[in-house]
Structure 1
């Protein structure tokens, strides 16, 4: 073969290889950092620089869990898939004390691509005091680009005069609304998951274990099911009277006002009883109370440096789910604190939660149970 023919053949092979590579991977310029969440409203929560640092004084149980050691890199990246956002979509008008009402909204991210897609309803944290649907934008976008319609919702909180029953009802109302409008937002209504952080983690746990319980189905779209097929609980509570059982006594005393407000979230705004004084009400609010073998699969994440919600909270929930035959996986993230930016006020304190390893576990769980 002549020299010119060899050069031409080599060039053809190089071009073919490049074409295959570009088909398999997006161009490097398309990949970028995931978008940042807006700053949370108000000052960051938790002790200031001069305060004594909270300490976990109870060993973190990993006996039935998997310990992850992700560090803080590599971080997730976005930009591979175009995502359309529908902001401020009203999904319910709900009653408040005194005859008032409140409109609840959601932000819906729809990834580009053919056919209906599984739905994930994201329930933000905020200590049952706030519910900012704009939070956790990096991970929500990462999940949307993985092929999920992701809807981040507002819900009623304690300053609204709400109890946990109201908040759970709002999450279920969002699920029904999205099923009713599945065609509009390219949703597969048969594949719906819920994902929550902190207070949101608690709420999605209750939603998951009350599939089929019509007590929480109030409002509109009652011809639609509020049942879900998968639950992602990130550092959520279970027994609301034991939120800080693993931390030092000084921190528990400092956080007593928060626990007093949570008592009203359990019993109602006019209640004067503490959580310790009403164990029956605490049990009614505990997702463990309602676990049954037919519950949807759970994946649970908790940092072993979390001094806001004790790691033992998710350990108890995970073990109770497994004891009833429910598919539950729990990951303990080494070095990770409470990742809810509504509390930390600083994304740098949440980097373990946006690593490729931890986010990959979350999306992998969704893929198995909502796409499989």
Structure 2
């Protein structure tokens, strides 16, 4: 099965809106509209090999869902954070920033959406972002350059770091604590989050403005992200693996460019350069890795490979296997239940407790 991806990315000038301050504490967290399929193609596995839980913690995602409405949050939309080039043309990259209306500077969480390296809709997962913001964090959801603009992973990592530098440069304006920053990504965003945290202090990925500011992060939350791209489909059936590894696939296009005939299977130096494990060292940020054992798009073993790399490099890391969970919110596939495993208080509480330890401890 092949999954088509695509969505319209919102634009517009910065504005501020907030939920009704009288909203009950039991209110459902707000959800963004489901994107319209289109654009690139992502293989969906027919079968998945059993998932190892070695060295990992298992979460059974039962119990109540997250609730919102306890804390008023201001949303600033359409803030341009960088204007890099893509396909030889300047492109404005925007972010949406949620800031809880509480006293004092807020630790910053930069959210990196997924989209198969094909799309990067910053409006995604509004419910989860709002929940995290209500725990007292400024949450910035960013867009970044993708395959559709002829870009590669190096551009994506550079964009994340540009957003962090921009937000640090404007920390006073937005009420942000510039010393305490985490990145949180899902799927392709999980990959970029891991790359960002692994490459703390690596100037090779620093591009654009505000280069006098640091892009170093203090924590990484990586949900069902890819890591070793040459093995991203190793848990899947032969047909899915062949499509994923074929020239021009979403994996190969993000490493080599959309028109390249090269593949990660035959270019070991390129796959090493695109692997966050390559950059792990004493400056790398602590990470948590969350992966569903029923993920049909990114092999669950990817997070175990990354955990082993973290331990070998003596970087703090914990892997959580979410029982029965697929690849996040799959409502655009017609599955309105899959995302609920990722929005339980058990799963989201694992994330916020980690953020509390690393950004408030």
Given candidates 49, 53, 56, the residue that maps to 1:62 is 53
Q: Residues 294 and 46 from structure 1, CA distance in 2 versus in 1: closer, same or farther, beyond 3 angstroms?
A: closer
Q: Please name the residue that 2:74 is paired with.
A: 84
Deviation at 1:343, TM superposition (A): 6.5
Q: Please name the residue that 1:127 is paired with.
A: 116
Given candidates 42, 49, 62, the residue that maps to 2:37 is 42
Q: Residues 171 and 46 from structure 1, CA distance in 2 versus in 1: closer, same or farther, beyond 3 angstroms?
A: closer
Q: In the aligned structure 2, how far is the partner of 1:175 from the partner of 1:295?
A: 16
Q: Deviations over 1:55-114 (max 9, x none)?
A: 112x3121100011123x3100000000000001110111012x3111000000000111
| DSSP-derived class of the 2:173 partner | coil
Deviation at 1:273, TM superposition (A): 1.2
Given candidates 269, 272, 281, the residue that maps to 1:280 is 269
Q: In the aligned structure 2, how far is the partner of 1:76 from the partner of 1:258?
A: 41
CA contact (8 A) 1:88 1:106 kept: yes
Given candidates 92, 97, 100, the residue that maps to 1:103 is 92
Q: In the aligned structure 1, how far is the partner of 2:188 from the partner of 2:247?
A: 13
Larger radius of gyration: 1
| DSSP-derived class of the 1:33 partner | coil
Given candidates 201, 216, 219, the residue that maps to 1:230 is 219
Q: Residues 225 and 345 from structure 1, CA distance in 2 versus in 1: closer, same or farther, beyond 3 angstroms?
A: farther
Q: Please name the residue that 1:33 is paired with.
A: 28
Q: Please name the residue that 2:84 is paired with.
A: 94
If each structure's helix is expressed as a fraction of its own residues, which one has the higher value?
1
Deviation at 1:319, TM superposition (A): 1.4
Deviation at 1:42, TM superposition (A): 1.9
Given candidates 354, 357, 360, the residue that maps to 1:365 is 354
What is the aligned residue count? 340
Given candidates 261, 286, 289, the residue that maps to 2:250 is 261
Q: In the aligned structure 2, how far is the partner of 1:122 from the partner of 1:108?
A: 10
Q: Which runs of 5+ in 2 are unaligned?
A: 1-20
Q: Please name the residue that 1:13 is paired with.
A: none
Q: Residues 150 and 367 from structure 1, CA distance in 2 versus in 1: closer, same or farther, beyond 3 angstroms?
A: same
Q: Which runs of 5+ in 1 are unaligned?
A: 1-25
Query: Equivalent residues in 2 for 1:198-217 (5 A)?
Result: 198-217=187-206
Q: In the aligned structure 2, how far is the partner of 1:318 from the partner of 1:154?
A: 27
What is the TM-score normalised by the length of structure 2?
A: 0.89
Q: In the aligned structure 1, how far is the partner of 2:197 from the partner of 2:333?
A: 27
RMSD: 2.1
Q: In terms of mean alpha carbon deviation, does 337-346 or 140-149 score higher?
A: 337-346
Instruction: Say whether 1:251 aligns with 2:274.
Output: no
Q: In the aligned structure 2, how far is the partner of 1:304 from the partner of 1:96?
A: 36
Deviation at 1:135, TM superposition (A): 0.4
Given candidates 275, 285, 290, the residue that maps to 2:279 is 290
Q: Deviations over 1:13-55 (max 9, x none)?
A: xxxxxxxxxxxxx99933301011221232597789xxxx711
What is the TM-score normalised by the length of structure 1?
A: 0.87
Q: In terms of mean alpha carbon deviation, does 209-218 or 193-202 score higher?
A: 209-218
